[in-house]
Amino acid sequence: MVFKLVSATPSPFARINRIAMLEKGIPFELQTEIPWHKSETVTPKYNPLEKLPILFDTDDSTFEPVYDSAHIQEYIVQKFASQGPKLLTGDLDLDLKARQIQVLAEGVMDAGVLEFFELARPEGSRSKEWAERQARKVDGGFRAFDQMVKDRKGEWLVGDGKVMTIADIAVVCAVGFLDFQGARKEWKGKYPELVKWFEGVDERESFRGTRPVMFDIQVKSVI
């Protein structure tokens, strides 16, 4: 197997998969793209939803591309269950909880992206109501993450807090992305415990090497 992950440098979605593969020691190549542009991306060719990340096995011509970051995460966790950390607990209820937290974190990423593009529209075609709706989702997610951090029993979010799961990865990627977007500078003052936990995990090697990096997006081609 020779994996290739179609990714974008700021993408929090691709980042969760990159971290999981790094943690598990699965070698992969990154194909960095700008999915919003018409040229410069293979994304629409392999995902009808025209979104990255997309995972390929370049060694196997019969391999069907795997897309959507949560599904890629499941693919990695299940197919490589015996390699490296499991990134789940092995307890059904706790693992369902980890997946629920991942869903919440991805919802926050989606809302953050939608809010960003809405606010990038020219004055007059911008919907304040729509942007506020997305902002509420992001803020609700942050409140929930903060509570999770306060309620946790150990280092990590799920169960006894002794093992890192896909939930920890997803929450750090969501918080890191919104922080990177810079639209919520007040979050650090508002949620000191979340900040402390986030900054601690974000120093881990697999997280440090995958932090978001801006690309030169032509916003006009999107909105």
Ligand X SMILES: N[C@@H](CCC(=O)N[C@@H](CS)C(=O)NCC(=O)O)C(=O)O
Contact positions vs ligand X (CB under 6 A): 8, 11, 13, 35-36, 50-53, 68-70, 106, 113
Taking alpha carbons only, the member of 194, 199, 170 closest to residue 20 is 170
SS3 annotation, 116-185: HHHHHCCCCCCCHHHHHHHHHHHHHHHHHHHHHHHHCCCCCCCCCCCCCCHHHHHHHHHHHHHHHHCCCC
Q: How far is the CB of 44 from ligand X (least distance, A)?
A: 8
In the bound state with ligand X, the residue whose beta carbon lies nearer, of 115 and 191, is: 115
Bridge partners, residue 57, by sequence: 3
In the bound state with ligand X, the residue whose beta carbon lies nearer, of 80 and 180, is: 180
Q: How far is the CB of 7 from ligand X (least distance, A)?
A: 9
Q: Within 13 Å of residue 189, how many CA atoms lie on the same side as its CB? A: 3
SS3 84: coil
Q: Within 13 Å of residue 38, how many CA atoms lie on the same side as its CB? A: 2
Q: How far is the CB of 47 from ligand X (least distance, A)?
A: 8
Q: How far is the CB of 72 from ligand X (least distance, A)?
A: 7
Q: How far is the CB of 128 from ligand X (least distance, A)?
A: 22
Question: Is the dihedral angle over the CA atoms 125, 128, 130, 131 positive or is it negative?
Answer: positive
In the bound state with ligand X, the residue whose beta carbon lies nearer, of 69 and 165, is: 69
In the bound state with ligand X, the residue whose beta carbon lies nearer, of 16 and 135, is: 16
Taking alpha carbons only, the member of 184, 10, 188, 167 closest to residue 87 is 167
In the bound state with ligand X, the residue whose beta carbon lies nearer, of 14 and 164, is: 14
Q: How far is the CB of 30 from ligand X (least distance, A)?
A: 14
Q: Within 13 Å of residue 222, how many CA atoms lie on the same side as its CB? A: 20
In the bound state with ligand X, the residue whose beta carbon lies nearer, of 52 and 166, is: 52
